[in-house]
Amino acid sequence: MKLFVYLIVLVLFVLLQSCATDPKILAEKQKTEIAKKAIKETPKWFKKLPKSKKFLYAKGTQISSDMQMSIDKATLAAKRSLAEKLESTISSKTKSFAKEVGMGELTELYIELEQVTINTVKEANIVGFNEYKSKTIATGSRYRTYFVLEYPLGSANKILISQIKNNALLEGSLQASKAYKELEKEIAGNN
């Protein structure tokens, strides 16, 4: 009887040990731990961007096995985010299809929904941005960089004025407006 109990304990031990050393399970545990650590180490200044009347803020984060590549990729992600704020158009299309099959009380309803959203960023002039804050941390054998840039609103307004002037029809209707004149005064004041 004692031998039988020892045998069962031994079998259970072997089974548990094989589960614990399964490479797939270990890899998933490792990924989960890395993700939890990344969320925990995300700087507060990255999670909540400052609000300002003088600057636009944009953020980006990327990971790489090379530290400089991580910084470059995060900077580029922040620039892309800024470009979306300055020069982005979005289109969306949704299709819905419903079909009821069956008779009387025994009907089934099948619903399909398809949604496509396209965000297009035209060329955006983002010269003049500054690094607001950045941080690079080691995540396992890789580097994660958090990057926030600031962009002076005066520069953004100059881009807006340039775009308006390029569109003569829009310029004609806006030049008469008080808001347009105030915007030009603000730009002149920033020089």
Q: Is residue 159, in this structure, part of any structural domain at all?
A: yes
| Per-residue pLDDT at 132 | 95
Helix/strand/coil for 75: helix
Give the strand pairing for 88-103 and 55-64.
unpaired
When mean pLDDT is compared across 27-36, 144-153, 177-186, the lowest value belongs to 177-186
Q: Which residues contact 81 (CB under 8 A, 6 or more apart)?
A: 58, 59, 60
- pLDDT at res. 91: 76
pLDDT at residue 40, rounded to an integer? 87
Residue 24, in any domain of the structure: no
How many structural domains is the chain composed of? Answer: 1
Distances in Å between the Cα of 20 and the Cα atoms of 28, 30, 60 are 12, 13, 36
Q: Per-residue confidence at 86, pLDDT binned at 50, 70, 90?
A: confident
What pLDDT does 175 receive? Answer: 55
Would 36 be classed as within a structural domain? no
Q: Is residue 21 part of a domain?
A: no
Average pLDDT across the chain, whole number: 78
| 61 within domain boundaries | yes
User: Cα–Cα distance between 12 and 62 in angstroms, integer?
Assistant: 43
Flag whether 168 is in a domain: yes
Q: pLDDT (tens digit, 9 = 90+) per residue, 153-182? A: 876 666 666 665 666 555 555 555 666 677
Mean pLDDT of 20-48: 81
The answer to whether 147 touches 137, Cβ cutoff 8 Å, is: no
Instruction: Examine the pLDDT at 123 and tell me if it is beyond 60.
Output: yes
Range(s) of the domain holding residue 65: 54-190
Higher pLDDT, 155 or 29: 29
In a domain, 38, yes or no: no
Asked if residue 31 is part of any domain, the answer here is no
- The answer to whether the CB of 74 falls within 8 A of the CB of 146 is yes
pTM, two decimal places: 0.57
Q: How confident is the model at residue 6 (pLDDT cuts 50, 70, 90)?
A: low
Identify the pLDDT of residue 2: 65
Q: What is the pLDDT of residue 153?
A: 81
